[in-house]
Structure 1
Amino acid sequence: MAAIGDASYIKKLNRSLIISKIIEHGLISRAEISKITKLTRATISVQAADLLEEELIVESHQEYNNVGRKPIMLSINRKAGFVLGIDLDYRSITFTFSDLMGQPVHTDTVEIQNSNYDEILELLIKQIKDYQNECSSSHFGIVGIGIGIHGIVTKDEVINFVPSHQWKNKDLKADLEKVFNLDIHIDNNANLSAFAEKVFNHHKSENLLSISMSSGIGLGVLIKGEPLKGYHGYAGEMGHMIIVPDGKPCKCGNFGCWELYASEESFLKQLAEKYHKPNLSLEDVQNLLIAKDPIVCDQMELFIKDISIGLNNIINLLNPETLVLNSELLKMYPGVENNLKSHLTSSVSHFNELLISDLGKYACVMGACALAIKNFFEVPELNLTIENKEFDEIIESQWTKMSV
């Protein structure tokens, strides 16, 4: 029995390895897979036959100018199924539908007007059903769902606490699984953003930090390519690191938390107060920056200084190879990376590169899609490439207002 079990396990490992190489290369021949993986051609032929029968991969002939037989190339049947990524933020929920190679197909953004858990759950159920109907003609339909939460998520994927909604101990995964027979996974938004950076942009970076800066501040950490989650899964809540003792009161219960000074939401709130307006949008800020308005320029410099205080602490603590800031606001400010680096003057602060994410506001939802793909294919690592990084050009965003 042990031998049968071992053989089954080895076959599963080989399948995973072959799929991962097909994904990584996009188009690859059986001979090339054998050369890269050191697996025998017989093993690869058997596995490829199974994958073809399951309609997970397809064959095609590559352009070939030499004399002889054209090589038969293998690739993922990207339209055989789809995944759904969900970014559940404070005022909105973003749904991104992608194919099995991580290429976004469609995105909807739904405005939410209150924090009632049951009503938001019903909204999620309705949207998921709509997406199921949309891909019902594909071979596998929806193969998995990933959900990003802007709060604390345990290792058991239970929502422990969401400060903006004041949710405590909500088992969203279980509530959705009562309705859907789907593979559903939930994680913190910053962890998913870090995963997206690794999967889509920084394939070789083993020590990567991603800082999400929209409604609050979250830190996603990859050490040796693996997520750092802490004892119960609570690691990365650097937005609640105190940078101003006895500072502004935070919903977490402390005073002077970093996200009260260095998140996009805090910036917009402070700027609106200075202009004596009820609210300002990122588009408003961009127009003011283009006009070189002195108030917004001064506020940006203060914002960058507050960001750098937290960055200095994080760099000293974790010594990252790659440090990615996920902020639509920072992307608007020319030369911001060098500006930030100019504030990181400590002789003990070491990192390889600091940059602003080109995934932008889609980092979390694309990380959720990537997580669903990884789980579906059961591969140890995932390297994907989005054909066009200008997300606003490849995604038809729809802003739907609902009374929730």
Structure 2
Amino acid sequence: MQTGDQILVKKINKSIVLQTIQSRSPISRAQISKDSGLNKATVSALVSELMEENFVQEIGTGLSSGGRKPVMLYFNKTAGYSIGIDLGVNYILAVLTDLQGNVVEQVEEKLEETSTAYVFPRLKKTVNALMEKGSASPYGIVGIGVGVPGITDKDGMILFAPNLNWERVDLKRYLEDEYNLPVVIENEAKAGAHGEKIYGAGKESSDLIYVSMGIGIGTGIIINDKLYKGASGISGEMGHFTIEANGKKCRCGNKGCWELYSSESALLEQARSLSSVKSKLLTLEGLIKEAEDGNTEVINLFNQIGEYAGIGLTNVINTFNPEQIIIGNRFSKLQKWLTNPIQHVLEQRLLPYYHDSLNISFSHFGIHSSALGSAAFSVEAFFSENKVTVS
């Protein structure tokens, strides 16, 4: 009869073997033993289990250093698939990924309104489209992750999403009842930070802030390689920093919030007063086209928005002293116009000591960070039975 300690040790060892194969495959049993410090018999037994579970495959022989050629092992990234969704204020972006975060399929849908009666059926439609693509695998769809533009608690309840006009919305229960799958609901900026840390621009940084700049502004905080959520899971609402003491009234109840001056909503609102684009249908993409065509009014507006972005980032940097700031979501499309005004403001307002260790970059994934991070949350939950985190 196994004791609890024996079971725990086996789970830890199995986790080490699986993680080694995931990160280093193709790799031999002997190399796993050498890298992990586990004896060859233990590695062989655990690899056999992982092969029976369809997580590991043999893919042929490698080069020999003398004696029999080693059989190489490979992580079976298509043993299952995850669905990751970025639920925006005016869009749904959903991706189907394999177990290593590679996008297999994606679906986008525009949203004309934000009521749950309107949004929920469209979420279901996007999930259904992706479910068909991922069903033909040993584990099928392993879970659904959703990044939402609002505050969520540790149980996945959407407490408050001001730009959606949602309060206490249980999207998690709706999706779990609909699909009988595990569902992870998280703030979209936290999901974006997670996606960039695992797969993207933040892989090499231990302390980073992901700034999601879209209709609103949210931030995801990585400290010592871990996503920081705060005491009750609602950290990162930096879009509601006050940057104008007697500024505009925000839906959150505050005045002068950062996102009222440097977000897609702020950009489109201010663009409506520009004489050169007044008669046109205003979209971010349309304004980018105007700037590319040399429209100086729009270029000046981008510069102004960039300066306000810099003011907010000054507060972020002074608070956290991160190694890296990654700007993502819709404003990643404005990198060409935002980089200089942001840098100019930071040079004016920050102590020079911050600049030496700070890297400001734009998302590797553009608008996809949150969807990828949400899918990764579901993959991690799926593997949790085989993995034990050892601190």
What SS does structure 1 have at the residue aligned with 2:216?
Answer: coil
Q: How many residue pairs were aligned?
A: 380
Comparing 3-12 with 148-157, greater Cα deviation is found at: 3-12
- How much does 1:308 deviate? 0.7
Name the Cα RMSD after superposition.
2.1
**How many angstroms apart in 1 are the aligned matches of 2:76 and 2:321?**
40
* Alpha-carbon distance change, 65 to 21 in structure 1, aligned in 2, over 3 angstroms: closer
The answer to whether the 8 Å contact 2:303/2:338 transfers is no
Unaligned runs of 5+ in 2: none
1:13-33: CA deviation from partner (whole Å, max 9, x where unpaired): 111222222221242222222
Within the candidate set 337, 362, 376, 2:368 is matched to 362
Alignment-derived partner of residue 376 in structure 1: 382
Unaligned runs of 5+ in 1: 382-404
Alignment-derived partner of residue 392 in structure 1: none
- How much does 1:112 deviate? 1.9
Q: Is 2:346 the counterpart of 1:347?
A: no
Alignment-derived partner of residue 270 in structure 1: 270
**How many angstroms apart in 2 are the aligned matches of 1:11 and 1:255?**
54
**How many angstroms apart in 1 are the aligned matches of 2:210 and 2:280?**
31
Comparing 290-299 with 64-73, greater Cα deviation is found at: 64-73
The answer to whether the 8 Å contact 1:315/1:349 transfers is no
The answer to whether the 8 Å contact 2:307/2:341 transfers is no
Aligned residue runs from structure 1 range 230-249, under 5 A = 230-249=230-249
- How much does 1:129 deviate? 3.5
TM-score of the superposed pair, with normalisation by structure 1:
0.88
1:91-122: CA deviation from partner (whole Å, max 9, x where unpaired): 11111001111110111111222222134223
Alignment-derived partner of residue 292 in structure 2: 290
Percent of aligned pairs sharing the same letter: 34
* Alpha-carbon distance change, 248 to 380 in structure 1, aligned in 2, over 3 angstroms: farther
**How many angstroms apart in 1 are the aligned matches of 2:54 and 2:372?**
24
* Alpha-carbon distance change, 131 to 271 in structure 1, aligned in 2, over 3 angstroms: same
- How much does 1:131 deviate? 3.0
The answer to whether the 8 Å contact 2:64/2:70 transfers is no
**How many angstroms apart in 2 are the aligned matches of 1:88 and 1:191?**
13
What SS does structure 2 have at the residue aligned with 1:227?
Answer: strand
The answer to whether the 8 Å contact 1:146/1:184 transfers is yes
**How many angstroms apart in 1 are the aligned matches of 2:76 and 2:353?**
45
The letter of the residue matching 2:312 is: G
**How many angstroms apart in 2 are the aligned matches of 1:143 and 1:213?**
30
* Alpha-carbon distance change, 334 to 116 in structure 1, aligned in 2, over 3 angstroms: closer
* Alpha-carbon distance change, 222 to 84 in structure 1, aligned in 2, over 3 angstroms: same
Comparing 62-71 with 222-231, greater Cα deviation is found at: 62-71
1:145-191: CA deviation from partner (whole Å, max 9, x where unpaired): 11101110112211000111111111211222222221211100000
What SS does structure 1 have at the residue aligned with 2:43?
Answer: helix
* Alpha-carbon distance change, 164 to 328 in structure 1, aligned in 2, over 3 angstroms: closer
What SS does structure 2 have at the residue aligned with 1:147?
Answer: strand
Aligned residue runs from structure 1 range 210-359, under 5 A = 210-274=210-274, 275-277=277-279, 279-334=281-336, 336-345=338-347, 346-347=350-351, 350=354, 351-359=357-365
- How much does 1:65 deviate? 7.7
Aligned residue runs from structure 1 range 86-97, under 5 A = 86-97=85-96
Alignment-derived partner of residue 52 in structure 1: 51
The answer to whether the 8 Å contact 1:76/1:100 transfers is no
**How many angstroms apart in 2 are the aligned matches of 1:277 and 1:61?**
64
**How many angstroms apart in 2 are the aligned matches of 1:187 and 1:23?**
25
* Alpha-carbon distance change, 144 to 272 in structure 1, aligned in 2, over 3 angstroms: same
Alignment-derived partner of residue 400 in structure 1: none
Comparing 47-56 with 333-342, greater Cα deviation is found at: 333-342
* Alpha-carbon distance change, 232 to 122 in structure 1, aligned in 2, over 3 angstroms: same
- How much does 1:68 deviate? 4.6
Comparing 217-226 with 278-287, greater Cα deviation is found at: 278-287
What SS does structure 2 have at the residue aligned with 1:262?
Answer: coil
TM-score of the superposed pair, with normalisation by structure 2:
0.91
Q: Which has the higher contact order (CA 8 A, sep 6+)?
A: 1
- How much does 1:64 deviate? 3.2
**How many angstroms apart in 1 are the aligned matches of 2:179 and 2:291?**
46
Q: Is 2:162 the counterpart of 1:163?
A: yes
What SS does structure 1 have at the residue aligned with 2:346?
Answer: coil
**How many angstroms apart in 2 are the aligned matches of 1:159 and 1:185?**
11
* Alpha-carbon distance change, 156 to 51 in structure 1, aligned in 2, over 3 angstroms: same
The answer to whether the 8 Å contact 2:209/2:221 transfers is yes
